[in-house]
Amino acid sequence: MADARPVHVHRVRVRPVDCDRRGAVHASRYPVFFEAAMVEALRSLLGSYKELEKRGIDLVVAETSVRYLNPARFDDLLRIAVRVRTLGTTTLTVGFDADVDGTPIATAWHRYVSFGTPQLRSTPIPDEFRRALEPRGPVRR
């Protein structure tokens, strides 16, 4: 994932409610952080998630995986890079890389299905959204 340019970078400050009794961010919080990063990525690319909803489309998480690398702690500023890994006809796989001051914290991916709310089944991702979501090329060093 780290080779593709991010489509968005989201930052979130760790709050006490995010931490377990050891003072580290609880594993259950990372998917919430990644989903918030995805919503903000869509806002930056499309104007708003509501643009999808106006077309009768919802992006439903069908599959996810998280790898925990290092703990984040209260008051850390998590930087989450969002990268489109694959873009199919009805599916979208998005990668997330979280770090604190350059120290890797977690990596993850979510596979979303474009779900037509009127039909209640998967539906093709519209071309105008597809263009905005196209995976970015390698990072220029």
Q: What is the pLDDT of residue 85?
A: 93
Provide the domain limits for residue 16: 8-133
Q: What is the mean pLDDT of residues 116-131?
A: 88
- The CA-based angle 2-6-12, given to 5 degrees, is 100
What's the chain's average pLDDT?
A: 91
Number of domains in the chain: 1
Q: How confident is the model at residue 136 (pLDDT cuts 50, 70, 90)?
A: low
90 by Cβ neighbours in 10 Å (0-12 / 13-18 / 19+) ranks as middle
Q: What is the mean pLDDT of residues 127-135?
A: 85
Q: What is the pLDDT of residue 139?
A: 46
| Rounded-to-integer distance, Cα 100 and Cα 131, Å | 31
Tell whether 77 is covered by a domain. yes
Tell whether 84 is covered by a domain. yes
CATH code for the domain of 88: 3.10.129.10
Place of tokens 């770090």: 99
Tell whether 139 is covered by a domain. no
Could you report the per-residue pLDDT of 42-99, keeping only the tens digit for each? Answer: 999 888 888 888 889 999 999 999 999 999 999 999 999 999 999 999 999 999 999 9
Tell whether 70 is covered by a domain. yes
Tell whether 141 is covered by a domain. no
Tell whether 3 is covered by a domain. no
